[in-house]
Structure 1
């Protein structure tokens, strides 16, 4: 099956964000305890990297099929009904992330127009809000991949997502 997104996209982004958070926090610790001078911008940058990693983590979980849901009830149903419920679940997720994408684009647009910047870094706030747009877009792509995957595996056992 042809994938919409590169297979390791979320993993690479998550490793990058975690690595950057580790480096910045390490710099903050060294600066505070060895140099005796605290960095004014490190907490803010780590907070923004954490926000980005949270929104990139959502499509990663969708890709792995590890989203939160109650599957024990579904396992007792006939296979055809299981597949139908999982398909409806995917459609609902698709619609939810499309709404998130639409409204997050509106928030980024308003934030861009306002010109608001962060206090310590002076970074435009729309870059932080852009994490919701990117996460929602990647989530839509991963849900579409799952829908296509389940449509191609008509005869197989119902999967966990």
Structure 2
């Protein structure tokens, strides 16, 4: 482990907070989806008075949980990776493939941030279904995810500890 300077420690603390926020979004969204679905079923079949907004709210919550979950998985290096063949290569090739992969992740994150902001801002004046809210609520999940992945990418650049998976899910 390399000694951490002030910048690296501060950056890691910032990333820890951002990961915590993402985890809260994921957990809160999934819990809310369950509660809303149970309420919707009760209103539809128990009271014979269906609610018009439940499907749209659940969809928004699901989109946010997926994007926020992707940021947590990226930071923990637990996103989908089939590294069986890469692990057979010499260490210098493994390192090169790792950084090519990270460069592609950075490119995707920048595109998510840039184009996600464009579409989100572009839809602010529109309304969406029964909720009478803007569809930008869906689209802002992409730039949020892109920004956090960029933040976590910078952390991986300066902190070698964050380049290794923290779990046993690799195939």
TM-score by length of 2: 0.81
Question: Does residue 107 of structure 1 match 2:112?
Answer: no
Question: Hey, what does 1:50 align to over in structure 2?
Answer: 62
How far has the Cα of 1:160 moved from its partner? 4.7
Please state whether the residue corresponding to 1:120 is helix, strand or coil.
Answer: helix
Gaps of 5+ in 2: 1-7, 167-171
Q: Deviations over 1:65-95 (max 9, x none)?
A: 1222331111111222212221221122112
**1:75-90 pair list within 5 angstroms:** 75-90=87-102
Question: Does residue 39 of structure 1 match 2:54?
Answer: no
How many residue pairs are counted as aligned between the two chains?
A: 154
Please state whether the residue corresponding to 1:86 is helix, strand or coil.
Answer: helix
Whole-Å Cα distance in 1 between the matches of residues 30 and 74 of structure 2? 20
Question: Hey, what does 2:164 align to over in structure 1?
Answer: 159
Whole-Å Cα distance in 2 between the matches of residues 32 and 92 of structure 1? 46
Q: RMSD between aligned alpha carbons?
A: 2.0
- 34-43 vs 137-146, greater mean Cα deviation: 137-146
Gaps of 5+ in 1: none
**Which residue of 107, 116, 119 corresponds with 2:126?**
116
How far has the Cα of 1:21 moved from its partner? 0.7
Question: Hey, what does 1:148 align to over in structure 2?
Answer: 158
Whole-Å Cα distance in 1 between the matches of residues 132 and 112 of structure 2? 26
TM-score by length of 1: 0.86
1:94–1:144 Cα contact (<8 Å) kept: no
